[in-house]
Chains A and B, each alone.
Chain A
C-alpha cells in the first residue's frame, strides 16, 4: 500500500507540465536517434546529458529516461526498415523484422515491435516498482561463474538460431567470438590479434562494424542479386484500420511477449549484461520453444515480438541495480549514473529514503514514457512505410551512405569503414553458402562479456571447470546450455539415421 501511495505521488511529479513536456520531447528525440544506424540510447543520453543541467535533477533524469525509452523503441525501426540494427539491442529484431518488411508486412512488424516494446517496458516497470530491492540482492549474488554460464546459455541458443547445419553455425559463433577478442588483452593489457600491425585493430572490432557490414552492405548486395537489380523493396501499406487489425492479431503472440519480458527483465538486472543478451536470449528461447522453429528468420512475428519485449524490459531492469546499488546494468545506465552524481545525488539504497520524490517521480515517468513512446512510434509508422515505397535505386544508395556514416560515427575511424566493407562482402559470399551470419554478430557482442567471466572463474577455481557445476545458479545455466547444444546435434543424428533407414 505504501508503494502505491509513493507511486501516486510519483505520478503527480511526472505529470507536472515541465516534466510531461520533457517526457514527450525525450521520447520523440530518442525514437529518431535510436532509428539512426550507428546510434543508440547510449549516444542519445550522452549527447543530451549536458542539456539537463538547465532543469532540476528530477526533471533531468525523467528527460534522460524518456530518451532511453524512445531510443529502445527506435532501434527496431532501422532493423525492420533497412535491415540494419541501429544498436546491439536491436540485432535480434533484424532476423525476422527485415524478412517481414521484404514480404510487404513492414507495418505489421513495426506495430508488433512497438506493442511488444510497450508490453516489455510495462512489465519491466511493474516488476521494477514491486520487486526492486529483493531482485537487486539476487543479481548482486551473481559472480563470474554465473555470468559465464549465462553467456554460454546464450551461445547455446544461437545453435538453435542458425539453420540445420550445426558445423556452420558453430563456425559463425567461433569467428564472432574471435573478432570480439581483437584488441588489447583485457587482463594483461597486451596487444592481441593485431593483424598486419594495423593501428585500427588496437581499439578492437566494434560490433557495429560487423553488424552493419553483414546486415547493411551484405544484405543490400544479397537483395540486389536476388532481384537482378530491379526491385521495389516493399509493397507495404498502412491505415488506421490495418494498424488496429495488426494490434488485435498480436494477442496471439502473448507467449513470446511474456517470455521476452520476464527473461529480458531478469537479464537486464545483471550488472554489465544489459538489454543485448536479454533480447538475443529471448529470440533464441522463443525459437527453441516454438512449434514452427523453421519459420524463424523468414518473417515469423514472434521473432520480432520476443526480442523487442525483452530489450525494453531489460532496459528497465538495468536501471534497478543503478538506482538501488549504484551499479550500472548497461552503458546507458552508466551515463545516467554519472548524471545522478553530477546532480548531487548518491545512488544506492539510501536514495529511496533520502530522495523519494526523485526516485518515485522517475519510476512514474517510466510508465508515462512507455506510453508516449508507443503513441509516437505508431503515429510515425505511415512515414516509415513511405520510405519503403521509394524506388530501390533511390533507397539503395541512401542505405549504403547510412551504413558508411553509421559505421564511422561510433569510433570516428576510417579503418572501421573499410573493415565494414570487407565484412559485408565476405558475409554476402558466405551467406550464399548457407553460413548463418546472425550468430557471428551475436557472438561479437557477447564475447567481451564472456571471456573475462571465464578467465576470472578459472582463476578462482585454480583452473578447474567444476566451478561452473558446483554453484547453484551457474550449474542450472550450464545444464540448460548443454541441453540446448546437444538437442540440435541429437536431432541431426536422428535425421541422418532416418534418411539412412529410408534409403535401405
Chain B
C-alpha cells in the first residue's frame, strides 16, 4: 500500500504537468480587453493538482497518511483476478457494441457473467439474456427514442421500427 501511494502521487504529478502543458496551448496570461486567456483556468487548476501531489509525496515521506504507514498489499492475487475478469468483461462488452451492437453485446455479456461467473442455470441465464435487451429496446428506442449502437445488425432492426412507426 505504501509503494502504491507513492506511485499514484507520482503518476498524477506527471499527469498534472501534462495538463499544464496542454492548457498552455491557449493563452494562460491576461489578454487586454478579453480578460484571462482560455488556457488560464485549466493551467492554474493543473498547477494546484501538482502542488497537491507534492504535498502527498511529502506526507508519504514523513509517514503522515495511513496508506504510507500501511504494510498491507495493495491488491492480492484473488482481488487482482476478480478485477481483471470484471474490467475485462466490461471492456469486451463495450468493444462488442461497435461490432454487433448493443443487442448482441448485452446478451453475450449476460451469458458470460450469469452462466460462467455466477454459475446460474441456463434457464435463468437465457431468460435474462433475452428479456434484458428486449426491455432495453422498448424503453430506450421506442419509448424514449434514444438510438443505441447496432453495429452490423442495424439493417435487421428496420422491420421492427417499421412495425412501431
Contacts and interface: CB of A to CB of B under 8 A. Distances in A.
Interface of A: 36, 39, 43, 47, 165, 167-168, 170-171, 174-175, 177-178, 181, 185, 187-188, 190, 192-193, 195, 217, 220-221, 224-225, 228-229, 391, 393-394, 396-398, 400-401, 404-405, 408-409, 412, 414, 417-418, 421, 425, 428-430, 432-435, 451, 454-456, 458-459, 463, 496
B113 A458 contact: no
B128 A405 contact: no
Given A225-B79, A404-B90, 18 more contacts: A47-B144, A165-B65, A168-B56, A174-B48, A192-B42, A228-B79, A393-B120, A394-B128, A397-B110, A397-B118, A401-B109, A409-B140, A417-B94, A421-B91, A428-B83, A430-B8, A433-B67, A434-B65
A193 B24 CA distance: 9
Nearest to B98: A414
A435 B113 CA distance: 30
Contact of B45 (A178, A188, A428, A430): A178
B66 interface: yes
B82 A171 contact: no
Please name the 6 residue pairs, one residue from A and one from B, whose CB atoms are nearest each other, closest first.
A393-B118, A185-B38, A459-B35, A171-B52, A167-B55, A397-B113
Given A178-B49, A397-B113, A228 B22 contact: no
Given A171-B12, A398-B132, A47 B145 contact: yes
A174 B35 contact: no
A463 B30 CA distance: 8
Contacts of A167: 52, 55-56, 59
B41 A187 contact: no
B144 A39 contact: yes
Interface residues of B, number: 67
A165 B90 CA distance: 32
Given A190-B38, A432-B75, A171 B53 contact: yes
Nearest to B113: A397
A177 B45 contact: yes
A167 B82 CA distance: 31
A406 to B, nearest CB: 10
B28 to A, nearest CB: 11
A458 B132 contact: no
7 contacts: A171-B48, A190-B26, A224-B83, A229-B82, A401-B109, A432-B4, A458-B35
Interface in B1-49: 1, 4-5, 8, 12, 19, 22-23, 25-26, 30, 34-36, 38-39, 41-42, 45-46, 48-49
Contacts of B146: 409, 412
A192 B35 contact: no
Contact of B46 (A168, A174, A394): A174
B83 A221 contact: yes
Contact of A455 (B41, B90, B110, B148): B41
Contacts of A178: 19, 42, 45-46, 49
Contacts of B42: 177-178, 181, 192-193
Contact of A225 (B35, B53, B83, B117): B83
B140 A455 contact: no
A246 to B, nearest CB: 30
B147 A414 contact: no
B109 A400 contact: yes
Given A178-B42, A397-B113, A43 B144 contact: yes
B66 A414 contact: no
A78 B4 CA distance: 32
Nearest to A452: B41
A459 B35 CA distance: 5
Given A170-B48, A433-B8, A458-B36, A417 B19 contact: no
Contacts of B65: 165, 434
B41 A405 contact: no
A178 B44 CA distance: 9
B119 A187 contact: no
Interface string B70-85: 0000110011001100
B54 to A, nearest CB: 9
Nearest to A425: B87
A188 B90 contact: no
A463 B35 contact: yes
A175 to B, nearest CB: 6
Contacts of A432: 4, 74-75
A114 B44 CA distance: 41
A401 B74 CA distance: 28
Contacts of B128: 394, 397-398
Contacts of A421: 87, 90-91, 94
Nearest to B35: A459
B89 to A, nearest CB: 8
B86 interface: yes
Contact of B82 (A193, A225, A412): A225
Contacts of B82: 224-225, 228-229
Nearest to A430: B8
Given A170-B52, A187-B34, A414-B98, A391 B86 contact: no
A86 B145 CA distance: 18
A414 B97 contact: yes
A190 B114 CA distance: 47
B52 A228 contact: no
A59 B140 CA distance: 26
Given A187-B34, A414-B94, A195 B22 contact: yes
Contacts of A224: 82-83, 86
B7 to A, nearest CB: 9
B118 A391 contact: yes
Contacts of A393: 113-114, 117-120
Contacts of A455: 35-36, 41
A104 B56 CA distance: 35
A43 B144 CA distance: 9
A188 B67 CA distance: 43
A258 to B, nearest CB: 35
B58 to A, nearest CB: 9
Contacts of A188: 26, 34, 38
